[in-house]
Amino acid sequence: MIRTLLVAGSVVIAIACGSSASKPDVKGPPNATDRDSCTNADDCTLVEACCGCTAGGKRVAIRKDAVAEYDATRRERCGDSTCTQVMSTHSSCNAEATCEANHCKVMAHLGDDPPPAGE
């Protein structure tokens, strides 16, 4: 009877070890803490913040593969935001995305005026 329990115990252990080893290493969608990581500028794109450029807001730089997750969480992230119906003068509205120090960043076009004070 002890032998049967040991055999049954080793089968359980074998199954448990086998099941974790057989799971593929699949990375889920990027979350808020890593959606701006990059290795080069081609990894990045600009997306509208809670209030986009046509609503008095701005754009932010994130990884291209994080756009769907970012858009899907917009209601949760921006629920308390109040946007205006005015064109924004924020520098991100006339910019491009780049990668600096392994993070996506907004890079204003050369020669553009700096953003207004307080932004």
Domain boundaries, the chain: 31-108
Are 88 and 58 in contact, with CB atoms under 8 Å apart? yes
Burial label, 105 (beta-carbon count in 10 A; 0-12, 13-18, 19+): middle
> What's the pTM value of the predicted model, to 2 decimals?
0.65
Over residues 50-83, the pLDDT tens digits come to 999 999 999 999 999 999 999 999 999 999 999 9
Residue 114: predicted pLDDT:
52
Ranges of residues in the chain with a pLDDT under 50 are: 1-29, 117-119
